[in-house]
Amino acid sequence: MPRPGNSSRAPGADLLVSAETEAGTPKITRASVGLRSERGPVLLALMISTALIALEATILATAVPGIVRDLGGFNQFPWLFSIYLLAQAVTVPIYGRLADVYGRKRIMLVGIGLFLIGSVLCGLAWNMLTLILFRAIQGFGAGAVAPMSITIAGDMYSLAERAKAQGYLASMWAVASVVGPVVGGVFSDLDAWRWIFAINIPLCLLAAWLIVRNFHEKLEARQQKIDFAGAVLIAGGSALLILGLLEGGQTWPWLSAPSFAVFGAALALIVAFVLVEQRVAQPIVPLWIFQRRVTLSTSFVALGVGAILLGLSSYVPTFGQEVLGASALLAGFAIAALTLGWPIAATNAGRVYLRIGFRATALIGSAFVITGSALNLLLGADSTIWFVAINCAVIGFGMGWVASPALIAAQSSVGWGERGVVTAGNVFARSIGSAIGVAVFGAIVNAAVGGADDPSPEALTGGIHSVFIALLVVSIGIAIAVSFMPGRTAAMTVEPAPVADPS
C-alpha cells in the first residue's frame, strides 16, 4: 500500500467498501478512476489552510487590549469571535453541496481567496465595526476551507490511510488552541496586532499555489440547479440558532424576549427549510442525511466531539493557571498533550477499523475518552499540571479512535457525488457542538463564580470541576452515539470520481 505522502492515483477513490465480513470488517475491492494528485504537497496545503482558520478562532483572544486601544469599541469586541464562528458555521453545509456539484478544488480556492481578502481587510480596519465586518469575510472563507480539507483528504487517501490524514488535520484545531493565544499575546505586547492578519497572506498564497499545482480534477458536465431557497433558509436558521447559543446568558438573559425571539425565528426558518427541501429535486442539504443511521449517528458523535474540544481548550488552561498556579506555557502544554494523543491514535486507527470495523474501533476510543474525562474529576487545587496533561493525552488518544473512524464511516457510506455534503454535515455538527458547549459550560462556570469578574481560586475550582462533570456526561453520550453506528457498511456503488486532465 502506498505511503500517505507518496504521489499516486488517488486511492481514496480507488478503494471502496463493498461489503463486510461477519465481524463487521470492511472488505476492499478496486475500482478504476482517474483522479491524480501529488498527495504530499496537497496534504501540506490542507494542513496549512486548516491551521490558519483554526488559529483565527483563538489568536485574537490575547490581542484584544491592543486592538481596543487602537480602534476603541470595547463593548463590541466579543463580536470579533462570534461573527467569525457564525459566518463559518452557517456556510459549511452550502459549500459541501456546491463541492459535490462544482468540484472540491474550485470551492477550496474560493474559500482560501475569501479568507485572504478578509485577512487583508482586517489588517486595514479603521474601527471596530469594520474589523467585525471583515472578520465575517474571513469566516465565509473558513466555512469552505474546513469541510473541503477533510473532503479532499477523503478523496485522495485509501480507507486504511484516511484516518492518519484526517488525524493530522484534526490536530491542527487543538494546536491552534495553544499557539493562537500565545502568538496573539506576542503581537499585542509589540503593539503590532495587525500583523496577526498579515502573516496569513503568504500562507494563503502558499496553500493556494500547492493546490493549483498539485491537485487536479476534471468534472463531467452535469445539469444542476442550485437550491437557493434552501441555502438561504438553512443559513438563516442556523445563524440564528448559533447566535442564540453564543449570546444567550451573555448579551441577554436566557429567559428574555430577545432570547425567545431569536430561537423562535430560528425554529421557524428551520421548519421552512425542511418543507422546501422535501419538494425540490436537488436540495442544498438532502434530508436523507438526517435519516440514514450512519450519517445521523456520526453527526451526534461530531456534536459531542465539538463540545469536548471546546470545553478542554477553554477551561484546562484556565484551571492550570488560576487554580494550580502554573505558568501560561505549562498550562498550554497540558492542553497540547491532547494534540499529541490524537494523531498518534489516528495513525493506527486505519489498521484497526479495517480489522474490527468502524463501530468497534470508535467504542474502544470512547472508553479512553470516558476514562480521561473521569480522571479529570480527581483534579483539585493540590494536583500537578502533569496529571492534567496525562488526562488530556488519554482523551486525545481516544478522540483519534472516535472522531476519525466516525467521519470516515460516514464518508465511506456514500459515493464521490455525496461525500462533500456528508463531510460538511459532520463539520457543521461539530460547530453546533462547540456553540452548545460555549453556552452550557459558560453558564455552569458563571453560576459557580456568581458572575464575579475576578473569581477566587476556590470558586473557579468548583465551576471548572462542574464543567469536568459535564464533559464526562458528554463523553458517555458519545459512546452511546457510537453504539448506534452500523457494525457493517452496506455495499456501495461509487459514482465516478473526477478524471485527471491528461495535460
Query: In b/e form, how buried is each residue of 150-174, taking b as 16+ CB within 10 angstroms?
Result: bbbbbbbbbbbbbbbbbbbbbbbbb
Q: What is the pLDDT of residues 233-259, one digit of tens each?
A: 888 888 888 888 877 777 788 888 988
Percent of the chain with pLDDT over 90: 19
Task: Of 81, 34, 133, give the one whose Cα is nearest residue 500.
Answer: 34
Does the structure show a pLDDT above 60 at 33? Answer: no
Of 447 and 301, the one with more pLDDT:
301
Of 416 and 11, the one with more pLDDT:
416
CA separation for the pair 164, 151 (Å, rounded): 14
pLDDT band per the 50, 70, 90 thresholds, residue 16: very low
Q: CB–CB of 274/410 below 8 Å?
A: no
Mean pLDDT score of the chain:
78
CA separation for the pair 41, 37 (Å, rounded): 9
Helix H or strand E encompassing 334: helix 328-356
> What pLDDT score does 330 carry?
77
At 218, is the secondary structure helix, strand, or coil?
strand
HSE at residue 301, side-chain half, CA atoms within 13 A, is 34
Mean pLDDT value of segment 459-465: 84
pLDDT band per the 50, 70, 90 thresholds, residue 5: very low
Backbone angles phi, psi at 213, to 5 degrees: -80, -30
> What pLDDT score does 357 carry?
87
Does the structure show a pLDDT above 70 at 272? Answer: yes
Mean pLDDT value of segment 147-159: 82
> What pLDDT score does 290 carry?
80
> What pLDDT score does 110 carry?
93
Mean pLDDT value of segment 188-202: 84
For residue 319 the three cell numbers come to 484551571
pLDDT band per the 50, 70, 90 thresholds, residue 287: confident
Question: Which of 185-194, 320-329, 368-377 has the highest mean predicted lDDT (pLDDT)?
Answer: 368-377
Q: What is the pLDDT of residues 46-68, one digit of tens each?
A: 888 888 888 887 777 667 777 87
> What pLDDT score does 57 carry?
73
The DSSP 8-state label assigned to residue 252 in this structure reads: B
Task: Of 339, 8, 34, 303, give the one whose Cα is nearest residue 161.
Answer: 8
Question: Which of 11-15, 145-149, 448-452 has the highest mean predicted lDDT (pLDDT)?
Answer: 145-149
Q: Which CATH superfamily hosts domain 7-226+284-483?
A: MFS general substrate transporter like domains (1.20.1250.20)
Question: Which of 78-92, 287-301, 476-490 has the highest mean predicted lDDT (pLDDT)?
Answer: 287-301
Mean pLDDT value of segment 76-100: 80
> What pLDDT score does 250 carry?
73
Task: Of 391, 124, 414, 426, give the one whose Cα is nearest residue 304.
Answer: 426
Does the structure show a pLDDT above 80 at 95? Answer: yes
pLDDT band per the 50, 70, 90 thresholds, residue 7: very low
> What pLDDT score does 8 carry?
40
For residue 122 the three cell numbers come to 482586517
CA separation for the pair 444, 40 (Å, rounded): 44
Least confident among 15-29, 275-289, 441-455: 15-29
Cα–Cα separations (whole angstroms), residue 159 to 25, 192, 390:
12, 45, 30
Mean pLDDT value of segment 439-448: 81
For residue 387 the three cell numbers come to 496529571
CA separation for the pair 368, 353 (Å, rounded): 16
pLDDT band per the 50, 70, 90 thresholds, residue 220: low
Give the residue extent of every domain in the chain. Answer: 7-226+284-483, 227-283
